[in-house]
Amino acid sequence: MSEQRRDDETKPDETTVERLRAVVRDEEPMPGGEPVDSDLVWRAVSGELSVEERRAVVARVADDAAWAAAWRLAKELSSAAAQAEPTATLAAGGPRARRDSSDARERRRFRFAWSRPVWGAVATAALVLVVVGISVREGPEQHQLRGGDTGALTSLVPEAAPLKRDDCVLRWSGGPEGTRWSVRVSTEDLSLVHRADSLEQREYRVPASVLAPLKPGTKLLWQVEARLPDGQVLRGATFVNRLE
């Protein structure tokens, strides 16, 4: 018996699921439950927390109807908030608005990507490392931060040399031929997040428009993910370079 067939056998019908969802939605909160930490719930739903933290919040949702209601609200409104971004920026009009709209799309994409365990864990780890100022060993042409699950991926961008806004090329080495790459670029405060997928070359030129809003000297965190020819996915370390 195949796995698919076993799943089909256990898959509940939609009517049953909707009935159960309605029951859960209508449940009254128990008096004296722990007050809902709305900020925590929002950050869990929007993928800002680590997987472990999210699981802890979901465990609370499983136990407490008030937390469950807060979760459903956050789910609805975080989604609506993401859709509201382009409307708001376009309302300002002009080229800036178009650029902001593009940025907003990137942020929305990041919101989704950020909730992926690999990206989330690595980026969180990278941010912590940067904030506490852990120094890293570096060579003249290569540098690497801890946090990846493969040491085979190394940056070919000298850390000392600032990245040019109009010619910001990220290069790296490692991975066999046929590997497809994804690159994510972000700032420390996550005001900027940019991602490119399905790259065939071991380099990526960050569009100048993406970097335009950033101040000189801004630290850029960038990380590479490799999809190997056999389907295995490996993540690289997170590298840090300053913008000129």
Partner 1 sequence: MESQPRPTQAAGPLLNHELEKLRRDLTRAVERVCPPRLADRRDDLVQTAMMRVMELQRREPDRSRLSPAYLYRVAYTALVDELRNVERRREVSMEEVESQPQQPLASGDPEKSASASQIARAVRDCLRQLAQDRRLAVTLYLQGHTVPEAGELLGWDGKRAENLIYRGLSALRLCLSTKGFEP
- State whether residue 109 is helix, strand or coil: helix
Alpha carbon distance 219, 189 (integer Å): 10
Written as six digits, the tokens of 176 are 């066999």
The residue from 1, 5, 14, 26 that contacts partner 1 (CB under 8 A) is 26
Size of interface with partner 1, in residues (CB under 8 A):
69
Judged by CB under 8 A, does residue 116 bind partner 1? yes
List of residues 6+ apart from 175 with CB closer than 8 A: 152, 153, 181, 202, 226, 228, 234
Q: Would you give the binding string for partner 1 spanning residues 141-180, x where CB under 8 A is met?
A: ----------------------------------------
Rounded least distance, CB 33 to partner 1, Å: 10
Tokens of 91: 């309302």
Q: Which of 23, 44, 34 is nearest to 66 (CA)?
A: 34
> Across the strands, what pairs with 227?
180, 233
Straight-line distance from the first to the last Cα atom of the chain, in angstroms, rounded to the nearest whole number: 59
- Select 94 or 140, whichever has its Cβ closest to partner 1: 94
Backbone φ and ψ for 161, nearest 5 degrees, come out as: -85, 125
The reply on whether position 14 binds partner 1 by CB under 8 A is: no
CA-to-CA distance for 187 and 212, rounded, in angstroms?
13
Q: Is 23 a binder of partner 1 (CB under 8 A)?
A: yes
Give the contact letters, 37-76, x = binds to partner 1 (CB under 8 A), - = no.
xxx-xx-xx-x---x--xx--xx-xxx-xx-xxxxxxxxx
| Smaller CB separation from partner 1, 147 or 204 | 147
| Contact footprint for partner 1 (CB under 8 A) | 3, 7, 10-12, 16-17, 19-21, 23-29, 31, 35-39, 41-42, 44-45, 47, 51, 54-55, 58-59, 61-63, 65-66, 68-78, 80-82, 84-85, 87-89, 91-92, 100, 104, 107, 112, 115-117, 189-191
